[in-house]
């Protein structure tokens, strides 16, 4: 077999036989590196036998075995040490030579251009292009340290950065997020009802990025809190003094069979996507009779009230048009209650009755056949689970929601897959220089922009304390807000904290959150969007000053 030259010092080869060792010696090689574990296949010479034959011919030998596809930093360091100390030239082998080529590239990555290493390997007929991000990470000077690294440029991440810089503009901050656009997601319910236009809910991410931060337009690919590092998808490594993890969550459309393929046509929609909210409004205007289904998955989800908000506003449009009596409306909620805080349920049940909605609790959407317009649900009744099929003219579906894989597979994750933080200080339970907030945090509060608005100042002051080597100084009470749009012009303003404790922002004479009010609608339609864009994302903590630990409420 041929020994394939990678550079002046190293050639690589498939598995060497004992005869090949003698040939290598005759061709002038002075050392052999084995990168293959013993016992991978029948008849494979063991490393010890190859070593004995090499030494018989006056050659040095090193055994650095790795499993295919599992070359790590320690392996690369060992290979670099062997390449530096063994007499040259060297021949390295594994089953095909690919692992030896991989280790050679990783060993040289700190001093060589990754693209050049890829080209050199290709010249020896080895394709290591997929290795380039890992090569980039090992390059000298690729690790950059910041005071604070924030993963996530959504509401929580941007607001936290802005609040930190309002207090100390000298803090160096990197925000990691590849998104080009930033969305005001609470507005999508209003888009689905024709109250807002889609463009009212979108701005360029660059336009909301706080001045003074370094925006890295790339995704995080890994968290390594034991070495204060974040790995990036482009191969770079960031190191930090404090990490703020605000990556959001993932809409798991695939967990409902057939849903992804059905969305946007055949009457299937969801206000949980920017591009589909206008289709919701289109469908509501088109449907004059038949059956409209609205679904809600098991918790946790973003804004637990959003599935029924879409339903109430749709029903109100049909009522105004005189079509509601001809439409059978069903709300299928995978949970056991209409809303998680009992205080607000009576007002909502009044609207369930007003609109003639068939409320189906413990009923979970599991499949959608868009072409046939059939939705399949699993129902729990008396401990038994049954499946039912319902035909529809319109289906507003909400997907299950899960932690991002990059979080769930990291040391930051709790058993739930979300970031394991203390519910009050939002500091990680195991890593004292890590904080988590927003939809990706493993807290029991409602996942909503209103929660992030309250969390961000708490995290900001606790981050600054951590940079000074001090413990957290502020705590979060679990505040979340869900403006339940029960009809156009009226809202039940649910505001609550941990354990369902009511946390109203206004006196009852102004806004009684347990009842539908016009004032709450005015707040939702006219005030909350500018508060979001012009206050929250700019570090102006309107009605969101952090509560100091030990201070009165």
Q: Supply the DSSP string of 454-522, one letter for each residue.
A: HHHHHHHHHHHHHHTT----EE----EEEEEEEETTEEEEEEE-GGG-B--SS-TTT--TTSEEHHHHH
Domain-located, residue 398 = yes
Q: Do both 459 and 378 map to the same domain? A: no
- The pLDDT score that the predictor gives to residue 309 is 98
Closest by Cα among 348, 264, 340, 337 to 311: 348
Q: What is the DSSP letter of 91?
A: E
Instruction: Say whether 29 sits in a helix, a strand or coil.
Output: coil
Domain boundary (402, 424, 455) is at 402
Whole-number Cα distances in Å, 224 to 151, 238, 245, 394, 415 = 13, 10, 12, 45, 18
- Residues 274, 382 within the same domain: yes
Say if residue 510 is in the same domain as residue 430.
yes
Residue 187, in any domain of the structure:
yes
**Residues 120, 5: Cα–Cα separation, whole Å:** 9
Cis amide bond preceding 89, omega within 30: yes
45, burial (CB in 10 Å: exposed 0-12, middle 13-18, buried 19+): middle
* 104 vs 11: CA distance, rounded Å: 10
- What's the CA gap between 493 and 305, in Å, rounded? 11
Q: Is 32 a domain residue?
A: yes
Judge if 183 and 282 occupy the same domain: no
Cα separation, 216 vs 208, whole angstroms: 14
CATH number of the structural domain spanning residue 110: 3.90.190.10
* Cβ density class 409-424: b for 16+ within 10 Å, e for less: ebebbbeebbbbbebb
Residues 414 and 360 occupy one common structural domain: no
Whether the ω angle into residue 474 lies within 30 degrees of 0, i.e. cis, is no
* Structural domain that includes position 475: 144-248+404-548
Q: Are 374 and 262 in a shared domain?
A: yes
| pLDDT (tens digit per residue) in 171-210 | 999 999 999 999 999 999 999 999 999 999 999 999 999 9
Active site residues: 303, 482
- Bridge partners (DSSP) of residue 496 are 480, 502
Q: Give the contacts of 362 (CB within 8 A, at least 6 positions apart).
A: 333, 334, 335, 336, 379, 380, 381
Q: At what angle do helices 98-108 and 73-85 cross, to 10 degrees?
A: 80
Residues 62 and 131 grouped into a single domain: yes
Per-residue pLDDT of the chain (553 residues; tens, 9 = 90+): 789 999 999 999 999 999 999 999 999 999 999 999 999 999 999 999 999 999 999 999 999 999 988 888 889 989 999 999 999 999 999 999 999 999 999 999 887 888 899 999 999 999 999 888 788 777 644 567 899 999 999 999 999 999 999 999 999 999 999 999 999 999 999 999 999 999 999 999 999 999 999 999 999 999 999 999 999 887 788 999 999 999 999 999 999 999 999 999 999 999 999 999 999 999 999 999 999 999 999 999 999 999 999 999 999 999 999 999 999 999 999 999 999 999 999 999 999 999 999 999 999 999 999 999 999 999 998 889 999 999 999 999 999 999 999 999 999 999 999 999 999 999 999 999 999 999 999 999 999 999 999 999 999 999 999 999 999 999 999 999 999 999 999 999 999 999 999 999 999 999 999 999 999 999 999 999 999 999 999 999 999 999 999 887 6
> Cα–Cα distance between 387 and 291 in angstroms, integer?
18
Q: Who contacts 384 (Cβ-Cβ below 8 Å, separation ≥6)? A: none
- The answer on 502 and 514 residing in a single domain is yes
Report the largest interatomic distance among the alpha carbons of the chain, rounded to a whole angstrom.
96
Whether residue 123 is found in the same domain as residue 149: no
Distance of CA 518 to the CA centre of its chain: 36
Query: Do 110 and 148 have their domain in common?
Result: no
Domain annotation covers residue 437: yes
User: Does any domain span residue 272?
Assistant: yes
Element (H, E) at 148: strand 143-151
CA 265 to each of CA 126, 259, 467: distance values in angstroms, whole numbers, following the listed order: 46, 11, 51
SS3 state at 255: helix
Asked if residue 416 and residue 527 are part of one domain, the reply reads: yes
Last residue of a domain, one of 138, 165, 192: 138
Number of structural domains the chain divides into: 3
Q: 440, 181, 447, 172: which is closest to 304 by C-alpha? A: 447
Residue 553 resides in a domain: no
pLDDT of 441: 98
456 and 534 fall within a common domain: yes
Q: With 0-12 CB in 10 A as exposed, 13-18 as middle and 19+ as buried, what is 233?
A: middle
For the stretch 211-227, pLDDT in tens is 999 999 999 999 999 99
CATH code where residue 493 lies? 3.50.50.60
- The partner residues of 380 in beta bridges, in order of sequence, read 385
Among 369, 385, 402, the domain-final residue is 402
Strand partners, 307: none
Contact residues for 207 (Cβ-Cβ < 8 A; gap 6+): 182
Taking a C-beta distance cutoff of 8 angstroms, is the pair 303, 187 a contact?
no
């Amino acid at each position: 077999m041929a020994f394939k030259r990678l550079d002046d010092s190293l050639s690589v080869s498939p598995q060497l036989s004992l005869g090949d060792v003698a040939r290598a010696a005759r061709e002038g090689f002075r050392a052999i590196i084995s990168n293959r574990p013993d016992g991978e296949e029948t008849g494979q010479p063991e490393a010890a036998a190859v070593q004995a034959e090499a030494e018989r011919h006056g050659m040095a030998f090193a055994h650095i075995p790795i499993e295919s596809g599992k070359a790590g930093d320690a392996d690369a360091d060992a290979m670099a040490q062997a390449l530096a100390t063994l007499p040259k030239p060297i021949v390295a082998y594994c089953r095909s030579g690919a692992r030896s080529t991989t280790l050679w590239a990783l060993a040289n990555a700190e001093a060589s251009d990754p693209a050049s290493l890829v080209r050199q390997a290709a010249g020896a007929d080895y394709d290591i292009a997929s290795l380039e991000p890992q090569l980039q990470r090992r390059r000298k000077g690729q690790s950059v340290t910041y005071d604070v690294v924030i993963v996530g440029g959504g509401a929580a991440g941007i607001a936290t950065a802005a609040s930190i810089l309002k207090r100390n503009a000298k803090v160096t901050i990197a925000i990691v997020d590849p998104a080009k656009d930033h969305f005001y997601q609470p507005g999508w319910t209003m888009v689905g009802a024709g109250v807002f236009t889609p463009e009212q809910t979108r701005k360029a991410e660059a336009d909301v990025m706080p001045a003074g931060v370094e925006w890295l337009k790339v995704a995080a690919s890994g968290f390594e809190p034991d070495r204060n590092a974040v790995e990036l998808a482009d191969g770079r490594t960031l190191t930090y003094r404090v990490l703020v993890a605000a990556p959001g969550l993932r809409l798991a459309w695939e967990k409902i069979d057939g849903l992804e393929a059905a969305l946007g046509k055949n009457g299937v929609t969801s206000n949980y996507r920017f591009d589909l909210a206008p289709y919701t409004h289109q469908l509501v205007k088109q449907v004059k009779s038949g059956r409209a289904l609205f679904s809600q998955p098991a918790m946790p989800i973003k804004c637990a009230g959003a599935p029924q908000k879409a339903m109430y506003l749709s029903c109100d449009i049909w009522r105004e048009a005189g079509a509601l009596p001809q439409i059978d409306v069903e709300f299928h909620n995978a949970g056991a209650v209409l809303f998680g805080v009992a205080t607000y349920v009576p007002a909502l049940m009044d609207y369930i009755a007003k609109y003639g909605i068939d409320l189906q609790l413990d009923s979970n959407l599991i499949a959608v056949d868009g072409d046939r317009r059939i939705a399949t649900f699993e129902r729990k009744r008396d401990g038994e689970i049954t499946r039912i099929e319902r035909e529809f003219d319109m289906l507003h579906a909400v997907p299950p929601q899960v932690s991002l894989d990059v979080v769930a597979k990291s040391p930051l994750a709790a058993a739930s897959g979300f970031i394991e933080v203390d519910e009050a200080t939002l500091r990680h339970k195991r890593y004292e220089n890590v904080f988590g907030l927003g939809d990706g945090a493993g807290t029991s509060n409602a996942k909503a922009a209103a929660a992030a608005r309250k969390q961000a100042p708490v995290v900001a002051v606790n981050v600054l304390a951590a940079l000074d080597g001090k413990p957290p100084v502020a705590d979060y009470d679990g505040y979340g807000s869900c403006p339940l749009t029960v009809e156009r012009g009226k809202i039940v303003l649910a505001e609550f904290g941990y354990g369902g404790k009511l946390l109203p922002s206004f006196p009852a004479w102004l806004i009684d959150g347990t009842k539908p009010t016009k004032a709450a609608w005015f707040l939702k339609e006219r005030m909350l969007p500018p508060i979001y864009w012009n206050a929250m994302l700019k570090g102006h903590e309107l009605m969101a000053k952090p509560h100091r630990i030990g201070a009165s409420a």
